[in-house]
Structure 1
Amino acid sequence: MEWYEVALGLLGLLIVLIGLGLPIPFALAAASLPFLWQIQTFNTSLVSAQLKLWGVWINYILLAVPLFVFLGELISRSNIGANLYMFLHRGVPIRGSAAYGSIGACAGFGAVSGSSMVGSLTIGGVALPEMLRLGYDRRLASGVLAAGGTLSVLLPPSLILLFYGIVTDQSIGQLFMAGIIPGLLLASFFVIVVLIWARLHPAHVPDRDTGPRLALIQIAVSLGPIIVIGGVITVSIYGGIATPTEAAAIAALVTVALAVGVGGLRWKGFGEALMATMRTMGYLGLLLSAGVLFGFVLNYYRVPQQVTELFLAFELSPYMVLALVILFYIALGMFLEPVSMTFITLPVIIPLILAAGFDLIWFGIVYTITMEIAVLTPPVGLNLYVISGISRGKVSVPDVIVGSLPFIVALVVLVGVMIAFPQAALWLPEQVR
C-alpha cells in the first residue's frame, strides 16, 4: 500500500470509530490492526499488540505517571490546596485578591501536580464559591479558575511534558526546567488580564478584602506542604539526585505524610485517591499502548517521513511550517483532549519540526501551551465542564467560555513570546545541561 493510502485510511477509520463512540484507546488500536494485518499474519499481529502493551507497562520512565497522578489526587482530597488558596486570599488588602489568589494557588498547585483538570477541580472547588460569595462576576471567576488550571500543565511536573518527552525521546528533566519561565510568564499574563478586566468592568470585582489575616501557624500549614513537596521534586531532579521517576516516588511518599499530618486526609480519602489513580492509569495505560501500536504502523509505512518530504517540497519557511502546526493543534484541540493528541499526532509532526530546524525542547513548550488552549476551547474543553460542574448550576458552560476568552488571548500571546524569544524556554535548561 502507498503511504498516503495508509495515512488517509488510518485517519478516516479513526474518525469513524471515535464518531461511533468508541473510546479513543480502542479506536486507535482498532484503526491500526487492519493495516498491521497487511504486513503480519493475524496471529503475529496479536502477539505484536501484546508486546506493545507489555512494553508500555514495564517502561521505567512511565512509572512516574501513576506516581504524579497519585500525588495530585492526594492533594485534591486533602486540605492542602484549600489552605494554599486561603493564605493567598484571606486578609490580603488588595482589590481583586481572591482572583489573584486563585492564580497563585493554581500556580502553586502546578508546582506539585501535573494535571490541568485536577488543578481546576482542586482550587476551583474552594475558590469558585468564595469568589461568587464575595461578589465577583461569574464569568470572571469561572474564567480565572478554568485558565488557572492550565498552569499545572506548564509548570513542572507536567504530565503533558512527561508524555511529550516519552514520545519524542527528550530529557524529562530538561523539559520540566524549560517550563518554569514560561509558566511564571503565563501566571503574570493572567494577573494582567484580571487587572484589565477590573479596569474595564469595575463592578465585576469587589472592593479589597478586609477580613482577618491568617495566624503564623496557619500560614505555615498553608505554605509548608507546597514548599516541601515542590522542593523535593525540584531539588531531586535538577540537582541530579534522582530521576523523575524516583523523584515522583519520593514526592508521593512525602505527600502522603503531609496530607495525613496537616492536610486532614483520612482513610476514606486515601482509598478514593488510590481508586482514582487506578482508573486514570487504566485509561492512560491503554492509550499509551494503543498509541505505540498506532505509531508503529505509521513508521512502518514511513508516513511521518513522507509527510515531511511533502512539506519540504513546497519550500515553506520554517515559521510557516510552525504556524501551520500550531493552527492544526488549536483546531484539533476543539475535538480531542491533549493526551490523545500527543500519541496520535506527534509521531507525524516531530519529523516535520526537526526538518524545519526547531529545537525539540523548545517546541515541547510551544506544544504544551497549545494543549492548554485545547482544554479551554469548546466543544471538548475539559476545564470548561469541570468549572461549570463544581458551580452546581450557578455558572453555565457558556459563561465559562466567555470568561476564558481573555485568558486564551494571554496563551496566544505567550506562544508569540516563545517564538520571538526562544531563550525564554531554553535558557534554564542550558544552564543546568
Structure 2
Amino acid sequence: MEILIAFLLLFLFMAGGMPVGFALGIAGGVGIWLSMGFSSMLGIFQTAPIENAASFTLTTVPMFILMAEFMNNGQMTQKLFTAAVKWFGHYRGGLAISTVMASAGLAAVSGSSTASAAGMASSVVPEMRRYGYDDKISVGVVSVAGTLAFIIPPSTVLIIYGILTEASIAKLFVAGVIPGLITVVGYCLAIYLWVRKNPEIAPSIKASSIKEKFASLKGIWTVILLSLIVIITIYTGVVTPTEAGAFGSFVALLIMLLQKKISFDGIKQALASTALTTAKIFIIIIGAMIFGYFLTITGSVQELIAMVQSLDVNRWVILTIIVIAYLLLGCIMDQMAILFLTVPLTFPVIMALGFNPIWYGILITKTVEIGLATPPLGLNVFVAASSAKVPLGTAFKGAGRLVAADFVILIILMAFPILVTWLPGLM
C-alpha cells in the first residue's frame, strides 16, 4: 500500500508541474513516513542530502558543465558548422550532414543535449534556409543531432548512470565512443537516403577547395584538442573522470584566455550558469536518493528481482521488455526523471540476469536519447522548433527519419555488445 501511495503521489506531483527533484523527495518522504514513522522520515531528511551531495564523484558534474560553459564563449557552434560545411557541404544533403558533424563536435565538449539543439537551431537553421533547405529536414536534423551530447563523452547521462549504479564512469565514457560514431554514421546515412528520394528538400551547394577545407579547421582546433585531452587522459588512466573534468575546465579557460575569447564578465557568467545547472541536478539527485531509501526500506527491489528470476523466459526477453518500457517512458517523461526513478529498480535485475553493466548503461542512454525526439514530450524538438520558429508538427515529421535510424542503431547495439564493451575492455 505504501508503494502504491508513494508512486501515485510522485506521478500526481510531476503531472502538476512540480520539479522532478522535489517530487521524488516528497513522495519518498511520505512513503518512509507511512512505512517507518515520522521520526525516521525526519532522520533521513536530515542526513540524506549531505551524505549524497558531499560526494567526490559528483564533482564530475559541475566540472564538465563548466568546461562546456567556457567553450560556449568562443562561438563554437558556428565554427563547427562552417568547418563541416567546407568538408561535407557538397554531398547530397551536405548541410544536414554537416549539422550532424557539428553537433558531434559540440557533444564532445558539452554534456547538454537541449543546449546543443538550441544553439544549433538558432545559428544553423537560418543558414540552411539561405541555401533553400526545407524546414522539415533542417529542424528535424538539428533536433535529433543534438541528442548526440547524451552518448558522446563527456555525457551527463553517463555520469548520472555511473553514480546511480557505481559503475566506472571512465569505462562508460570510453564505451560511448564507438556507439557515438555509429550513431553519427547512421544519421548521415538516413539523411543521404532521405535526400536521394526527395532531392528538392536539400539543394546541392558548391564544393570547397582543399585549401578552404583545411583553413576551416583552424577555427575548431580547440574543440578537437579539448575532446582528445578528455578521452585520452581518461583512457590511459592518467586522470580519473572527475580530474579530467577539472583539468578540461582549466584547459578550456586557458584556451579562451589565450585567444581572448572570454572576459572577466564571461567567466562570472560561466560560473553562475554552471552553479545554476548543478543546483538543479543536485536537487534531483537528493530527491532520488530519498525515494531510493524508501524503495530499499520496503524491499520492493528485492521482490522485483525474485519475481523476474522466477519467470520461465529467456533473459533476453526480459531485457527487451525493459528497453521497450524505457522507450515508452521516454515519450511521456523527463529523461533525468526516468533515470533516477527506474535505474535503482532495473539495474539489480539486469545484474541478476548476468548482463554487462557498462553495456546496459549505453543501451539505457540510447533509449533516453531517442526519448528526446519522440512525441508528445520530445524536449529537443520543442526547443529546436521554438528557436527556429517553425511549427511543431513540421519539426516532429523531420525528426522521425533520424529517430527511425536510432531504433536500428539500438537494435545493433543490443545484438552486438562487443561494439560497446571492446574499448572499455582494453583499459
Q: Is the 1:333–1:373 contact (alpha carbons within 8 Å) kept by the matching residues of 2?
A: yes
Matched with 1:42 is 38
1:294-325 CA-partner distances (Å, limit 9, x unpaired) = 11110111111111222233322212111111
Q: Is the 2:32–2:40 contact (alpha carbons within 8 Å) kept by the matching residues of 1?
A: no
Residues in 2 aligned to 1:269 and 1:296: alpha-carbon distance in whole angstroms: 40
Residues in 2 aligned to 1:241 and 1:80: alpha-carbon distance in whole angstroms: 27
Query: Number of matched residues?
Result: 426
Residues in 2 aligned to 1:44 and 1:173: alpha-carbon distance in whole angstroms: 36
Matched with 2:342 is 345
Q: Among 103, 120, 123, which residue is 2:120 paired with? A: 123
Residues in 2 aligned to 1:175 and 1:230: alpha-carbon distance in whole angstroms: 15
Equivalent residues in 2 for 1:418-433, closer than 5 Å: 418-432=413-427
Q: Give 2:401's aligned amino acid.
A: P
Residues in 1 aligned to 2:202 and 2:260: alpha-carbon distance in whole angstroms: 30
Matched with 1:84 is 80
Q: Among 348, 351, 376, which residue is 1:354 paired with? A: 351
1:302-353 CA-partner distances (Å, limit 9, x unpaired) = 1111112222333222121111111111111122221111111111111221
> Residues 221 and 317 (structure 1 numbering): CA distance in 2 closer, same or farther, change over 3 Å?
same
Residues in 1 aligned to 2:301 and 2:218: alpha-carbon distance in whole angstroms: 51
Residues in 2 aligned to 1:382 and 1:259: alpha-carbon distance in whole angstroms: 31
Equivalent residue of 1:150, what SS?
helix
Q: Is the 2:86–2:212 contact (alpha carbons within 8 Å) kept by the matching residues of 1?
A: no
**Is 2:70 the counterpart of 1:74?**
yes
Equivalent residue of 2:332, what SS?
coil
Q: Offset of 1:74 from its aligned partner?
A: 2.6
Q: Give 1:245's aligned amino acid.
A: T
**Is 2:244 the counterpart of 1:247?**
yes
Residues in 2 aligned to 1:376 and 1:217: alpha-carbon distance in whole angstroms: 34
Residues in 1 aligned to 2:54 and 2:170: alpha-carbon distance in whole angstroms: 20
Q: Among 55, 58, 63, which residue is 2:54 paired with? A: 58
Q: Give 1:48's aligned amino acid.
A: I
Q: Offset of 1:44 from its aligned partner?
A: 4.2
> Residues 269 and 217 (structure 1 numbering): CA distance in 2 closer, same or farther, change over 3 Å?
farther
**5+ unaligned residues in a row in structure 2: which ranges?**
none
> Residues 426 and 107 (structure 1 numbering): CA distance in 2 closer, same or farther, change over 3 Å?
same
**5+ unaligned residues in a row in structure 1: which ranges?**
none
Q: Among 15, 22, 32, which residue is 2:18 paired with? A: 22
Q: Offset of 1:81 from its aligned partner?
A: 2.6
Q: Is the 1:337–1:381 contact (alpha carbons within 8 Å) kept by the matching residues of 2?
A: no
Q: Among 137, 148, 151, which residue is 2:148 paired with? A: 151
Q: Is the 1:151–1:183 contact (alpha carbons within 8 Å) kept by the matching residues of 2?
A: yes
Q: Offset of 1:75 from its aligned partner?
A: 2.5
Q: Offset of 1:273 from its aligned partner?
A: 2.4
Q: Give 1:427's aligned amino acid.
A: W
> Residues 400 and 106 (structure 1 numbering): CA distance in 2 closer, same or farther, change over 3 Å?
same
Q: Offset of 1:95 from its aligned partner?
A: 3.6
Give the TM-score of the pair, scaled to structure 2. Answer: 0.95
The answer to which of 252-261 and 138-147 deviates more is 252-261
> Residues 188 and 211 (structure 1 numbering): CA distance in 2 closer, same or farther, change over 3 Å?
closer
**Is 2:265 the counterpart of 1:273?**
no
Give the TM-score of the pair, scaled to structure 1. Answer: 0.93
> Residues 197 and 119 (structure 1 numbering): CA distance in 2 closer, same or farther, change over 3 Å?
same
Runs of 4+ in 1 over 4 A off after TM superposition: 210-218
Q: Offset of 1:200 from its aligned partner?
A: 0.9
Q: Is the 2:104–2:145 contact (alpha carbons within 8 Å) kept by the matching residues of 1?
A: yes
The answer to which of 24-33 and 208-217 deviates more is 208-217
Matched with 2:225 is 228
Equivalent residues in 2 for 1:20-419, closer than 5 Å: 20-90=16-86, 92-210=89-207, 218-262=215-259, 264-391=261-388, 393=389, 395-419=390-414
Residues in 2 aligned to 1:183 and 1:263: alpha-carbon distance in whole angstroms: 32
> Residues 263 and 315 (structure 1 numbering): CA distance in 2 closer, same or farther, change over 3 Å?
farther
Q: Offset of 1:97 from its aligned partner?
A: 2.2
The answer to which of 80-89 and 30-39 deviates more is 30-39
Residues in 2 aligned to 1:109 and 1:348: alpha-carbon distance in whole angstroms: 33
Residues in 2 aligned to 1:400 and 1:71: alpha-carbon distance in whole angstroms: 30
Q: Is the 1:104–1:187 contact (alpha carbons within 8 Å) kept by the matching residues of 2?
A: yes
The answer to which of 217-226 and 172-181 deviates more is 217-226
Equivalent residue of 1:379, what SS?
coil
Residues in 1 aligned to 2:341 and 2:363: alpha-carbon distance in whole angstroms: 17
Equivalent residue of 1:87, what SS?
helix
Equivalent residue of 2:272, what SS?
helix
Q: Offset of 1:159 from its aligned partner?
A: 0.7
Residues in 2 aligned to 1:267 and 1:198: alpha-carbon distance in whole angstroms: 46
Q: Offset of 1:403 from its aligned partner?
A: 0.6
Q: Give 1:422's aligned amino acid.
A: P
Q: Offset of 1:39 from its aligned partner?
A: 4.8
Residues in 2 aligned to 1:237 and 1:146: alpha-carbon distance in whole angstroms: 29
The answer to which of 254-263 and 370-379 deviates more is 254-263
Q: Offset of 1:38 from its aligned partner?
A: 3.6
Q: Give 1:136's aligned amino acid.
A: Y
Q: Is the 1:90–1:209 contact (alpha carbons within 8 Å) kept by the matching residues of 2?
A: no
Equivalent residue of 2:293, what SS?
helix
Q: Is the 1:221–1:262 contact (alpha carbons within 8 Å) kept by the matching residues of 2?
A: no
Q: Offset of 1:216 from its aligned partner?
A: 8.1
Equivalent residue of 2:18, what SS?
coil
Q: Offset of 1:212 from its aligned partner?
A: 7.6
**Is 2:12 the counterpart of 1:10?**
no
Residues in 1 aligned to 2:122 and 2:218: alpha-carbon distance in whole angstroms: 19
Q: Offset of 1:220 from its aligned partner?
A: 4.5
Residues in 2 aligned to 1:295 and 1:413: alpha-carbon distance in whole angstroms: 33
Q: Give 1:401's aligned amino acid.
A: F
Q: Is the 1:75–1:81 contact (alpha carbons within 8 Å) kept by the matching residues of 2?
A: no
